[in-house]
Protein backbone atom coordinates (compact mmCIF):
# COMPACT_ATOMS: atom_id res chain seq x y z
CA UNK A 1 0.00 0.00 0.00
CA UNK A 2 1.39 3.39 -0.99
CA UNK A 3 1.88 5.89 1.83
CA UNK A 4 -0.01 9.15 1.39
CA UNK A 5 2.20 12.19 1.64
CA UNK A 6 1.23 15.74 2.40
CA UNK A 7 1.28 18.01 -0.63
CA UNK A 8 3.47 21.11 -0.39
CA UNK A 9 1.75 24.40 0.39
CA UNK A 10 3.37 26.23 -2.53
CA UNK A 11 1.41 26.27 -5.80
CA UNK A 12 2.41 23.62 -8.32
CA UNK A 13 1.78 23.82 -12.02
CA UNK A 14 -0.06 20.99 -13.71
CA UNK A 15 2.43 18.37 -14.77
CA UNK A 16 4.74 18.55 -11.74
CA UNK A 17 4.40 14.99 -10.50
CA UNK A 18 0.77 15.14 -11.65
CA UNK A 19 -0.23 17.16 -8.59
CA UNK A 20 -1.80 20.57 -8.25
CA UNK A 21 -2.21 22.57 -5.07
CA UNK A 22 -2.93 26.22 -4.50
CA UNK A 23 -5.14 26.56 -7.58
CA UNK A 24 -4.92 30.07 -9.11
CA UNK A 25 -8.11 32.11 -8.86
CA UNK A 26 -8.50 32.32 -12.65
CA UNK A 27 -8.48 28.52 -12.90
CA UNK A 28 -11.03 28.24 -10.11
CA UNK A 29 -13.19 30.78 -11.95
CA UNK A 30 -12.92 28.64 -15.10
CA UNK A 31 -14.13 25.60 -13.16
CA UNK A 32 -17.02 27.49 -11.58
CA UNK A 33 -17.95 29.14 -14.91
CA UNK A 34 -17.97 25.76 -16.62
CA UNK A 35 -20.21 24.39 -13.88
CA UNK A 36 -22.60 27.35 -14.00
CA UNK A 37 -22.83 27.32 -17.80
CA UNK A 38 -23.52 23.59 -17.69
CA UNK A 39 -26.38 24.17 -15.26
CA UNK A 40 -27.88 27.03 -17.27
CA UNK A 41 -27.54 24.99 -20.45
CA UNK A 42 -29.36 22.04 -18.85
CA UNK A 43 -32.17 24.29 -17.63
CA UNK A 44 -32.63 25.78 -21.11
CA UNK A 45 -32.53 22.29 -22.67
CA UNK A 46 -35.18 21.11 -20.20
CA UNK A 47 -37.42 24.04 -21.12
CA UNK A 48 -37.07 23.19 -24.81
CA UNK A 49 -37.81 19.52 -24.30
CA UNK A 50 -40.75 20.29 -22.01
CA UNK A 51 -42.24 22.41 -24.80
CA UNK A 52 -41.94 19.43 -27.15
CA UNK A 53 -43.72 17.15 -24.73
CA UNK A 54 -42.98 13.48 -24.02
CA UNK A 55 -41.21 11.83 -26.94
CA UNK A 56 -41.28 8.23 -28.05
CA UNK A 57 -38.51 6.92 -30.23
CA UNK A 58 -38.58 4.39 -33.02
CA UNK A 59 -36.14 3.99 -35.89
CA UNK A 60 -38.48 5.73 -38.33
CA UNK A 61 -38.96 8.72 -36.02
CA UNK A 62 -35.29 9.52 -35.38
CA UNK A 63 -34.83 11.92 -38.34
CA UNK A 64 -38.04 13.78 -37.44
CA UNK A 65 -37.04 14.03 -33.76
CA UNK A 66 -33.57 15.28 -34.65
CA UNK A 67 -35.13 17.92 -36.90
CA UNK A 68 -37.57 19.03 -34.20
CA UNK A 69 -34.74 19.35 -31.68
CA UNK A 70 -32.45 21.13 -34.15
CA UNK A 71 -35.13 23.70 -34.92
CA UNK A 72 -36.13 24.35 -31.31
CA UNK A 73 -34.64 27.68 -30.17
CA UNK A 74 -34.41 26.50 -26.55
CA UNK A 75 -32.60 23.30 -27.52
CA UNK A 76 -30.14 25.11 -29.79
CA UNK A 77 -29.44 27.86 -27.24
CA UNK A 78 -29.15 25.28 -24.46
CA UNK A 79 -26.60 23.29 -26.47
CA UNK A 80 -24.58 26.45 -27.20
CA UNK A 81 -24.52 27.43 -23.52
CA UNK A 82 -23.60 23.90 -22.50
CA UNK A 83 -20.89 23.90 -25.17
CA UNK A 84 -19.46 27.11 -23.70
CA UNK A 85 -19.25 25.39 -20.34
CA UNK A 86 -17.50 22.44 -21.94
CA UNK A 87 -14.95 24.81 -23.50
CA UNK A 88 -14.09 26.30 -20.07
CA UNK A 89 -14.02 22.80 -18.56
CA UNK A 90 -11.45 21.63 -21.12
CA UNK A 91 -9.22 24.62 -20.36
CA UNK A 92 -9.47 23.84 -16.64
CA UNK A 93 -8.57 20.19 -17.33
CA UNK A 94 -5.41 21.35 -19.09
CA UNK A 95 -4.32 23.15 -15.91
CA UNK A 96 -5.24 20.94 -12.94
CA UNK A 97 -5.63 17.31 -11.97
CA UNK A 98 -8.85 15.61 -13.01
CA UNK A 99 -9.20 14.23 -9.48
CA UNK A 100 -9.29 17.82 -8.19
CA UNK A 101 -11.55 19.40 -10.80
CA UNK A 102 -14.12 16.62 -11.29
CA UNK A 103 -15.77 16.83 -7.87
CA UNK A 104 -16.72 20.40 -8.75
CA UNK A 105 -19.01 18.89 -11.37
CA UNK A 106 -21.06 17.63 -8.41
CA UNK A 107 -21.98 21.24 -7.70
CA UNK A 108 -24.07 21.10 -10.85
CA UNK A 109 -26.28 18.50 -9.16
CA UNK A 110 -26.93 20.89 -6.30
CA UNK A 111 -27.53 23.91 -8.52
CA UNK A 112 -29.83 21.98 -10.85
CA UNK A 113 -31.66 20.60 -7.83
CA UNK A 114 -32.58 24.08 -6.59
CA UNK A 115 -33.11 25.58 -10.04
CA UNK A 116 -35.49 22.73 -10.96
CA UNK A 117 -37.44 23.38 -7.78
CA UNK A 118 -37.58 27.15 -8.38
CA UNK A 119 -38.20 27.21 -12.14
CA UNK A 120 -39.99 23.94 -12.89
CA UNK A 121 -41.69 23.43 -9.50
CA UNK A 122 -40.22 19.95 -9.13
CA UNK A 123 -40.83 18.19 -5.81
CA UNK A 124 -38.02 18.07 -3.23
CA UNK A 125 -37.90 15.40 -0.55
CA UNK A 126 -36.01 15.62 2.72
CA UNK A 127 -33.84 12.70 1.60
CA UNK A 128 -32.81 14.61 -1.54
CA UNK A 129 -31.93 17.66 0.57
CA UNK A 130 -29.75 15.44 2.78
CA UNK A 131 -28.02 14.10 -0.33
CA UNK A 132 -27.31 17.63 -1.53
CA UNK A 133 -25.75 18.49 1.84
CA UNK A 134 -23.48 15.44 1.60
CA UNK A 135 -22.43 16.43 -1.94
CA UNK A 136 -21.60 19.98 -0.81
CA UNK A 137 -19.54 18.69 2.10
CA UNK A 138 -17.62 16.38 -0.24
CA UNK A 139 -16.85 19.19 -2.69
CA UNK A 140 -15.68 21.37 0.19
CA UNK A 141 -13.33 18.63 1.39
CA UNK A 142 -11.85 18.16 -2.09
CA UNK A 143 -11.51 21.92 -2.63
CA UNK A 144 -9.53 22.22 0.60
CA UNK A 145 -7.17 19.37 -0.29
**pLDDT (tens digit, 9 = 90+) per residue, 119-145?**
999 998 999 999 889 988 888 887 777
Distance CA 26, CA 66 (A): 37
Count Cβ atoms below 10 Å from residue 119 Cβ, excluding itself: 11
Question: What does the domain layout of the chain look like in residue ranges?
Answer: 25-143
SS3 content of the chain, % helix, strand, coil (to 5): 70, 0, 30
The conformation of residue 18, written as its DSSP 8-state character, comes to: T
Percent share of the chain, pLDDT over 70: 86
Query: Picking from 35-44, 65-74, 87-96, 107-116, which range would have the lowest pLDDT averaged per residue?
Result: 107-116
Distance CA 27, CA 96 (A): 8
Distance CA 37, CA 127 (A): 27
pLDDT tens profile 36-65: 999 999 999 999 999 999 988 888 899 999
Amino acid sequence: MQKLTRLPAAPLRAGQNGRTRGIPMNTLLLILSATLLGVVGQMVLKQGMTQMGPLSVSAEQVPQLVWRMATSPFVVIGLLIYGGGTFFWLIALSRVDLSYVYPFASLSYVLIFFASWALFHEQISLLRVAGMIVICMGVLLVARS
